[in-house]
């Protein structure tokens, strides 16, 4: 397992033994689930200083209980394409931990979705949600369905079949799904429509990321990307730096990437590149965000089509967007997109800060390299918590039947992201790892959940 420091005390030695033995059990019990192992390994290595201070966590089996989902549901999703052919996909919902509130976390529709991916996402969600300071537990779900190239009618039939089973397991006080990769406003609309029809109730608080006409919150669409930039602004400020005149590179061109680019440009940066799974565009004068929105949100086209309206930009098929020199890198596509080699290239070309909009986009080796080379590093569970934070604000608005203004939600998002930065930074210092936001965010997220689990008894 990853080692964080060499100072050894008997309590720390015992904590390390405890974490290592839990990790061994996890690997045995969940063979082949590499993404899940990776997320747990990073977490366990980080919380050792907190375990060393509180032996009760080991006695009460807190790590064993935290790493085993309360419930994992898998189900069949049959649906019919436009030619009348029947297809079957696999659906998942992991209800990981409900110590501090109802399960909350997005749904991912992507062909790579597996039990391992849903479990790593659900596990991280526990601590992310805790960091927001809002009363939400951790969950995640999805299906190995690829919405790309499907008609609206096919996506609708798929969503209806998916929700027919999922509806048995969710509700405003039980489990509240939202969007993630491949699940945006269109999919949430179809999912909510089917849920409402099955329940014969308008339970707005059962899904977040809804449209504004049926209980959605202003700023939810922008929240993860804007929140990422607010968090990165705080990281930079700690080193007396700002976004002003910085070159920024973003991976992905979906929901998180678009609004991270928009806010970074608003704060004075030049975003020179973004990507999709086929390649990247490079526009040294600054990416034209409305053009990317039109391509991706309205026309659902590939990013290379940007060249049709911006012939001076470059497109690199299958390229690594992080090969471009930049001061700030914001990975906003998917897990493990930055390995050690890409991290080293970013470092060699003078990157100042890397903040994760995607979930677990950096490998453990890449994170070590960033830390060893003094790169400011913002881990996903802190840096991209803005989406779920505003989802919880959407639930609050649904509960009171009120709608808050864009400015009100945006100000609250900014406050939450700034507080997450401060709490993570303070926890890192308090536990002997000043500047290490991986340690800080894991410990800050963990303590609230673990202490609440102690209060609830053995469940």
Residues acting as catalytic residues = 140
Q: Which is nearer to ligand NDP, 69 or 227 (CB)?
A: 227
The neighbouring-strand residues paired with 329 are: 249, 354
Residue 277 binds ligand NDP, judged by CB under 6 A: yes
| Closest distance of CB 81 from ligand NDP, Å | 20
Residue 334 binds ligand NDP, judged by CB under 6 A: yes
| Closest distance of CB 308 from ligand NDP, Å | 17
Q: Which is nearer to ligand NDP, 4 or 303 (CB)?
A: 303
Residue 122 binds ligand NDP, judged by CB under 6 A: no
Residue 253 binds ligand NDP, judged by CB under 6 A: yes
Among 16, 33, 276, 394, binds ligand NDP (CB under 6 A): 276
Among 136, 204, 256, 269, binds ligand NDP (CB under 6 A): 256
| Closest distance of CB 371 from ligand NDP, Å | 21
Residue 321 binds ligand NDP, judged by CB under 6 A: no
| Closest distance of CB 173 from ligand NDP, Å | 22
Q: Which is nearer to ligand NDP, 49 or 106 (CB)?
A: 106
Residues in contact with ligand NDP, counted by CB under 6 A, come to a total of 25
Residue 262 binds ligand NDP, judged by CB under 6 A: no
* Binding span for ligand NDP by CB under 6 A among 64-72, 89-97, 173-181, 366-374: 173-181
Residue 320 binds ligand NDP, judged by CB under 6 A: no
| Ramachandran angles phi, psi of 153, nearest 5° | -65, -40
Within 10 angstroms of residue 258's Cβ, the number of other Cβ atoms is 23
Among 141, 179, 189, 445, binds ligand NDP (CB under 6 A): 179
What does the per-residue mask of binding to ligand NDP show for 342-381, with x meaning CB under 6 A? Answer: ---------------xxx----------------------
Q: Which is nearer to ligand NDP, 14 or 336 (CB)?
A: 336
What does the per-residue mask of binding to ligand NDP show for 81-110, with x meaning CB under 6 A? Answer: -----------------------------x
| Closest distance of CB 91 from ligand NDP, Å | 17
CA dist 203 and 286 (Å) reads 42
CA dist 406 and 396 (Å) reads 15
Both tokens assigned to 233 = 């602004």
Residue 208 binds ligand NDP, judged by CB under 6 A: no
Q: Which is nearer to ligand NDP, 177 or 254 (CB)?
A: 254
Residue 255 binds ligand NDP, judged by CB under 6 A: yes
| Closest distance of CB 415 from ligand NDP, Å | 18
Could you tell me which of 432, 451, 381 has the C-alpha nearest to residue 49?
432
Residue 232 binds ligand NDP, judged by CB under 6 A: no
CA dist 125 and 95 (Å) reads 10
Give the binding site for ligand NDP (CB under 6 A). Answer: 110, 112, 179-182, 184, 224, 252-257, 276-278, 332-334, 357-359, 384, 387
């Amino acid at each position: 397992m990853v080692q964080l420091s060499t100072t050894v005390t008997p309590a720390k030695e015992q904590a390390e033994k405890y974490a290592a033995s839990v990790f061994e059990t996890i690997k045995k019990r969940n063979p082949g689930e590499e993404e899940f192992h990776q997320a747990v390994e990073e977490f366990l290595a980080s919380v050792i200083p907190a375990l060393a201070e509180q032996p009760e966590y080991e006695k009460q089996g807190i790590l064993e209980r935290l790493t085993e989902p309360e419930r994992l549901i898998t189900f069949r999703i049959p649906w019919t394409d436009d030619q009348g052919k029947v297809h079957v996909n696999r659906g998942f919902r992991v209800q990981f931990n409900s110590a501090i509130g109802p399960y909350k976390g997005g749904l991912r529709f992507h062909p790579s979705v597996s039990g391992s991916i849903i479990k790593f996402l659900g596990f991280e969600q526990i601590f992310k949600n805790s960091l927001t300071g809002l009363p939400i537990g951790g969950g995640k779900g999805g299906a190995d369905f690829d919405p790309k190239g499907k008609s609206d009618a096919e996506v609708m039939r798929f969503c209806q079949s998916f929700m027919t089973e999922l509806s048995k397991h969710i509700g405003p006080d039980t489990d509240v799904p939202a969007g993630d990769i491949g699940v945006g406003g269109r999919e949430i609309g179809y999912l909510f429509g089917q849920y409402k029809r099955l329940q014969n109730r308008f339970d707005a608080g059962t899904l977040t990321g809804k449209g504004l006409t049926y209980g959605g919150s202003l700023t939810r669409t922008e929240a993860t990307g804007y929140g990422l930039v607010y968090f990165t602004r705080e990281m930079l400020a700690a080193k007396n730096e700002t976004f002003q005149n910085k070159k920024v590179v973003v991976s992905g061109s979906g929901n998180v990437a678009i609004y991270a680019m928009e806010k970074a440009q608003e704060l004075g940066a030049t975003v020179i590149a973004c990507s999709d799974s086929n390649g990247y565009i490079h526009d040294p004068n600054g990416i034209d965000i409305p053009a990317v929105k039109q391509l991706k949100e309205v026309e659902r086209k590939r990013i290379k089509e940007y060249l049709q309206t911006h012939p001076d930009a470059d497109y690199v098929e299958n390229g690594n967007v992080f090969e471009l020199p930049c001061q700030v890198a914001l990975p906003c596509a998917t897990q493990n997109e930055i390995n050690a080699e890409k991290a080293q290239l970013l470092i060699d070309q003078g990157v100042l800060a890397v903040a994760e909009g995607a979930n677990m986009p950096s490998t453990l080796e890449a994170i070590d390299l960033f830390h060893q080379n003094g790169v400011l590093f913002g881990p996903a569970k802190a840096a991209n918590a803005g989406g779920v934070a505003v989802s919880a604000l959407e639930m609050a608005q649904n509960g009171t039947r009120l709608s808050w203004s864009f400015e009100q939600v945006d100000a609250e998002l900014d406050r939450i992201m700034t507080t997450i930065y401060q709490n993570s930074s303070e926890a890192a210092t308090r536990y002997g790892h000043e500047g290490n936001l991986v340690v800080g965010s894991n410990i800050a997220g963990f303590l609230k959940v673990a202490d609440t689990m102690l209060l609830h008894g053995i469940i």
